[in-house]
Amino acid sequence: MITRTALHTLKAAAFLAGDAEQQFHGAGEIARLINAPANYLGKLMQTLAREGILISQKGIRGGFKLARPARSITLYEVVDPIEHLSRFSGCFLGREKCSEKHPCALHKQWADVRTRYMSMLKDFTLEDLAGHHNQEPARP
């Protein structure tokens, strides 16, 4: 359900959340650390800066950092500007007249999945994600 693009964005945001000093980090640096395409990641991060999730600073000591504390930024806030999550509100099969009264074959199942997915994104913060990421064992 989550795209590679959203995963790159979440990994980059989690990296920034894990920086206790909250310094600026360049998109190229972050891209190398999370194994993402640098130019593409830079554009994604600019999107988050326009949304007020990140602060962007140009120059030799520039880059990106969180605009607010990691505990106050939900995963939904990071993913929505990239994935436009409102598109998940419609019928899974694309029918225009899908509703409780006239459901498609997957209406109930899709509603359940969609609700759980949105709840997960809204319930977890970058602090949660960064804390878990920092506990991962080092890879050989």
Domain presence at residue 77:
yes
Domain presence at residue 139:
no
Domain presence at residue 130:
yes
Please report the pLDDT score of residue 133 as a whole number.
53
Domain presence at residue 27:
yes
- Give the 3-state DSSP-derived string for 10-61, with helices as H, strands as E and coil as C: HHHHHHHHCCCCCCCECHHHHHHHHCCCHHHHHHHHHHHHHCCCEEEECCCC
Domain presence at residue 57:
yes
Domain presence at residue 140:
no
Domain range spanning residue 60?
4-134
pLDDT tens-digit readout, 56-106: 999 888 899 999 999 999 999 999 999 988 777 778 877 888 888 888 888
Please report the pLDDT score of residue 97 as a whole number.
83
Q: What percent of the chain has pLDDT over 70?
A: 93
C-alpha angle 69/71/75, rounded to 5°?
105
Region 1-18: what's the mean pLDDT?
92
Instruction: List Cα–Cα distances, 23 to 5, 69, 86, 105, in angstroms.
Output: 24, 13, 33, 50
CATH of the domain at 12: 1.10.10.10
How many domains does the chain fold into? 1
